[in-house]
Every structure is written in structure tokens, then in C-alpha cells.
Structure 1
Amino acid sequence: MKYKLLAIDMDGTFLDKEHMPTKGNIEYVHKAAEAGVKVVVCSGRIPAALKLILKDMPKNQPVIAGNGSIVYDHNSRELYYGALERDALIEIINIMRRDFNNVYYHFYDGDIVCSERFDKIIADFYYKLNSTMPKEFGVEIRIIPDSIYYIDKYNPKVAKVEIFEEDLNLLQSIRDRLEMLPGIEIVSSGFNGIEITNKGLNKGNALEFLVNHYGYSLDECIAVGNDENDVEMIKKAGLGIAVRNAKDCVKEVANYITEKDNDNDAVAEVIKKFILNK
């Protein structure tokens, strides 16, 4: 099979434990692009949080962001932006306030991270990210006094909500409660987070949308990932691949599991084996 598109998850797949791309992965995604394969960054991150990564990736390639809520073509033209319905967003916030008041969450107004408090999550990721990179690669953080007031006043296009909690039993209780709501989709994110988008918006459906846009078939696609939010695209792709460090739920649906993990050029292994055939 000659593959035409390679969809790659970022955190835990293409990026190492320091959230940076390995040299081998960078080298081989360029080789894949030179061979005529579309190399698609397919991330749970919002577009602004991908800018530093994209500067070293092959140019003029499509992007899937926000767990499939946002799709760009190879010219950085927005093909799709799926915002959460306002009523669902308000209900999520009300449930968090009423039943899980001490649990941290934030949402994204486009590329702006919106939160009612400056929490360790923002400090350890976004604030640290902003403090260690050039300004043009930073992400705007907006601490707001009242999320519902903000939504009513500004009518933001919210691609997703993220909730983080170290107590995994409590996190599961939150997920169980929110899954009773209609019209939303929930996936785990890393070890202690869940991410919420509109129903039907996931990396798998975004991949299918992009494939149809370019006139390819899903059989001509490779998808590589490590976390629950990668499961749908791995199931849809003609060749679905889990990296060695992937969660069991990903390995269970994959056609191939890499010998290497995300710290040791797992994506380069995929490109060598299935695209360059070396």
C-alpha cells in the first residue's frame, strides 16, 4: 500500500516527555513530506499551542487541532471549526460549580485559555511555555471572574473544555456525571485530565473529513497515537499505530505497536517501516 497521509498525535507520540520533538522524528517527517505524503499534526492542543512545534514541521501541511474540533488545510485555511453549543457549555460549568467546586477546569475562547483561577495546570504548562519561548509562540491566558458572565457577554467559540484532577476516582465521577449530558463527547487526556467537545467531534471524524477533502481513501492513511483521544483516528485509518508507551485502550485497536516509545523516535520508526520501506 502506498500511503498518502500520515496523521500524528503530538504529546506522548511525536513529542518526548519534555513536550519537545525528537531529532529523529523531525528528520523523518520531512523525509515523508519529501516523498509526497501529507504530514498532518493531529493534536488535542489548540492551534496557538502548536505554533512552536509547527515551525520545525514540513511546511504547507494540514492540521487537526482541538481533538478534531478545528481543521486547517495545507494553506492554513480553516476548513472546520466546531464550537460547543452554548447550552451544553453553560451546563458543564454549572455542574462543576455545584457538584465539583474545588476541581480545576478551563475552556478555550479560540486561542485564549480562559479560567477563573490561576492554577498549577496553567502555571506548569501555559505560563511555563510562555516564559521560555519567543512572544510570537506564546498562548494568551485570561483569568476571568465569572465564566458564565464571560460567555454571555462575549459569545466565545469554545472548541473544548478541559478538566484536571489528581484524584482519579473523583475524575471518573466527574466524567460519569458529565456523560449524562446530551450533545458532548469526552475523552481522557494524559494521566489526570478529561477533554470535552461537541458530540461527534474527534480526531477520527476530523481525519475522515480531511481525507474526503483531498480525495483520498482512509485506507491510504496512517494514524499514530498514544492516548484515548487517538483511538477513533487509529480505528478509522487504514493503518492504525500505537506507540510503545500508549495506553492499553489504544494498543487494543491498533494494527501495529512500535518498538520505540515517544522519547526514542517512535514516529521515525513508523515512517521508515511503512512509508520509506527501510
Structure 2
Amino acid sequence: MKYKLIASDLDETLLNDDKHVGLKTLQAIAAARQLGVHFVPVTGRGFTLIRRTLTELNVKDAAQEYVISFNGAAITENKDERILTKKLMDFQTINILFQIGVKNQAVMHIYTLTDIYVYNMDKDEKEYLDKMGFSYCDFSQPSIMFLKDQPLIKILYKDKERANLDDLYSQIPASILEKTAVTYSSNRYMEFNQAGVNKGQGLLKLSQFLNIKPAEIIAIGDSANDLSMIRMSGLGVAVQNAATEIKDNANYVTSNDYNHNAVAEVIKKFILINN
């Protein structure tokens, strides 16, 4: 099979612990691009929050290069960060989720299309976000009325203890869960998007736009929010450090983890070796 598109998650997949792309991976991606293969970052982050990575990949502000962000809720062309598709959440839904978080003193992120607002920031989260080079606005007032007229696209709860996230989940009304898609990432986040949003659907939309068949796609990931794109792609890949559920659904599991150029391993084995 000749693959035409590589879709890769970022954190704990493409990026190492220093939140950079390894040299071997950069070289492999560049070689794949020379063969006409698209390399598409697919992330839960907003597209404005991965500019540093796009610069490393040498595709920042590049035409006909794309990003799937917010877990599939938005697709952008890198040139001028042109939005091709987006699926927003309504303010009422986000506000109900926010108030549940406030009641439980949770750390939360609220995302507009271009900005991130962090409520109840703690030291651990500040260190994590600063390490990734994020720009964000932190606030402490228990209200998001100042965001009522903004284009809201995602909200998440942060807690490293899954039991605490599960407790938060148990407090969400069924009427709200029906309107949202819930995913987990980075062993610290429970994320909420509009119902029907996932990385697989986002990748399918982009592949249709590019006239690429699912069988011609390689998808690489590590966490639960990567499962949908791994299942829909011709070659679903789990990096060595991936969750068991991801490995069980993958066609291939890398020998290397995200700190040791796992994505380069995939490109060399399935793209470059055939050329």
C-alpha cells in the first residue's frame, strides 16, 4: 500500500518530554514530504497553540499544509491559519460544565478558537503549560460570562487522578452528556467537545478534502482520544508508550517510545523503505 497521509498526535507521540520534535523524526518527516506524503498534526490543542511545533516542522504559515485541532473540531490550513471547518459548543453547555468544576475546585481550561483560559491554576498545571510554551489567560472568578459572546469550542477538567475525573463525570447531567463528546488525554485531562467530534471524523473530513482514501492513511497515537483515527485509518499505529486500549486496536506497535523517535520509526518502515 502506498500511503499518502500521515496523521500524528502530538503529546506523548510526536513530541518528546522537552515538547520538541526529535532530529531523526524531523528528518524522516522531511523525507516523506519530498515524496509527496502529507504530514498532519492531529491534536486536542488549539491550532494557535502549536505554532512552535509547526515552526520546527518548517510548515508554519505554509500553504497546502494542514492541522486538525481541538480533537477534530477544527481543521485549518497553515497559511494565515485559515479555518476550513469548525464545530463550536454552545455557551450554556460549557457554563454548566464550568459550574460543576467550580463546585469541585477543579482546574479547568476553556477554549475559544484562538485563546485558552485557565481557571483555578495550580503549580503543576502552570509548570506543564509553561513547558509547552503556551500563552494563556488565567482567572479565578467563578464565572465565564465574559466569554458568553466568544466562539467556544472545548472545555476540559485537569486532574492526574482518574478517580477524581470519574467523580466529576458522575455529576454531569445526562442531558449535557448527550450533547458532548468526552475524551481523555495525557493522563491528566477529561475533555469535552460538541457531540460527534473526534479525531477520526476530523481526519476523514480532511482526507475527503484532499481526495485521499482512508486506506491510504497512517494514524499514530497513544491516548484514548486517538482511538477513533487509529480505527478509521488504513494503518493504525500505537507508539510503545501507548495505553493498552490503543495498542489492542492498532495494526502496528512501535518498538520506540515518544522520547526515542517513534514517529520516525513508522515513516522509515512504511514510507521510506518502499522508496
How does the TM-score come out when normalised to structure 1? Answer: 0.90
1:71 aligned partner: 75
Are 1:276 and 2:272 counterparts? Answer: yes
Tell me how far apart the structure 1 counterparts of residues 55 and 98 of structure 2 sit (CA, whole Å).
35
Asked if the contact 1:39–1:58 (Cα under 8 Å) also holds between the matched residues in 2, the reply is no
Tell me how far apart the structure 2 counterparts of residues 208 and 191 of structure 1 sit (CA, whole Å).
26
Structural mapping, 1:57-96, within 5 Å? 57-59=57-59, 60=62, 61-73=65-77, 75=79, 76-96=81-101
2:144 aligned partner: 148
2:240 to 226, 229, 244: 244
* Offset at residue 45 of structure 1 (A): 1.3
Tell me how far apart the structure 1 counterparts of residues 194 and 124 of structure 2 sit (CA, whole Å).
23
* Offset at residue 192 of structure 1 (A): 2.1
1:204 to 200, 205, 208: 200
Q: Which is further off, 203-212 or 105-114?
A: 105-114
Is there any run of 5+ residues in structure 2 with no aligned partner, and where? Answer: none
1:189 to 167, 178, 185: 185
Percent identity over the alignment?
28
* Offset at residue 233 of structure 1 (A): 0.4
* Offset at residue 95 of structure 1 (A): 2.2
Tell me how far apart the structure 1 counterparts of residues 138 and 164 of structure 2 sit (CA, whole Å).
26
Tell me how far apart the structure 1 counterparts of residues 252 and 169 of structure 2 sit (CA, whole Å).
30
Residue by residue over 1:167-211, the C-alpha shift from the partner in whole angstroms, topping out at 9 and shown as x without a partner, is 321211212433732210111111122111111111100000000
Tell me how far apart the structure 1 counterparts of residues 198 and 266 of structure 2 sit (CA, whole Å).
23
> After TM superposition, where is structure 1 displaced by more than 4 Å over at least 4 residues in a row?
none
1:48 aligned partner: 48
Number of positions where the alignment pairs a residue of Structure 1 with one of Structure 2: 267
Tell me how far apart the structure 1 counterparts of residues 264 and 43 of structure 2 sit (CA, whole Å).
18
Tell me how far apart the structure 2 counterparts of residues 32 and 3 of structure 1 sit (CA, whole Å).
10
1:25 aligned partner: 25
* Offset at residue 47 of structure 1 (A): 1.5
Asked if the contact 1:106–1:114 (Cα under 8 Å) also holds between the matched residues in 2, the reply is yes
Distance 1:121 1:45, change over 3 A: farther
Tell me how far apart the structure 1 counterparts of residues 51 and 94 of structure 2 sit (CA, whole Å).
27
1:265 aligned partner: 261
SS at match of 2:111: strand
Q: CA RMSD in A?
A: 1.8
Asked if the contact 2:9–2:221 (Cα under 8 Å) also holds between the matched residues in 1, the reply is yes
The one-letter code sitting in structure 2 at the alignment partner of 1:188 is Y
How does the TM-score come out when normalised to structure 2? Answer: 0.91
Asked if the contact 1:144–1:150 (Cα under 8 Å) also holds between the matched residues in 2, the reply is no
Asked if the contact 1:116–1:147 (Cα under 8 Å) also holds between the matched residues in 2, the reply is no
Is there any run of 5+ residues in structure 1 with no aligned partner, and where? Answer: 131-137
Q: Which is further off, 225-234 or 110-119?
A: 110-119
SS at match of 1:147: coil
2:153 aligned partner: 159
The one-letter code sitting in structure 2 at the alignment partner of 1:13 is T
Asked if the contact 2:43–2:69 (Cα under 8 Å) also holds between the matched residues in 1, the reply is yes
SS at match of 2:272: coil
Q: Which is further off, 227-236 or 51-60?
A: 51-60
The one-letter code sitting in structure 2 at the alignment partner of 1:198 is Q
Tell me how far apart the structure 2 counterparts of residues 37 and 179 of structure 1 sit (CA, whole Å).
44
Distance 1:58 1:220, change over 3 A: farther
Distance 1:113 1:122, change over 3 A: farther
Tell me how far apart the structure 1 counterparts of residues 222 and 145 of structure 2 sit (CA, whole Å).
37
SS at match of 1:252: helix
Residue by residue over 1:10-34, the C-alpha shift from the partner in whole angstroms, topping out at 9 and shown as x without a partner, is 1100111222111111111111111
* Offset at residue 149 of structure 1 (A): 1.8
Tell me how far apart the structure 2 counterparts of residues 182 and 82 of structure 1 sit (CA, whole Å).
16
Tell me how far apart the structure 2 counterparts of residues 177 and 210 of structure 1 sit (CA, whole Å).
35
Asked if the contact 2:18–2:131 (Cα under 8 Å) also holds between the matched residues in 1, the reply is no
Tell me how far apart the structure 2 counterparts of residues 179 and 218 of structure 1 sit (CA, whole Å).
36
2:114 to 84, 107, 111: 111
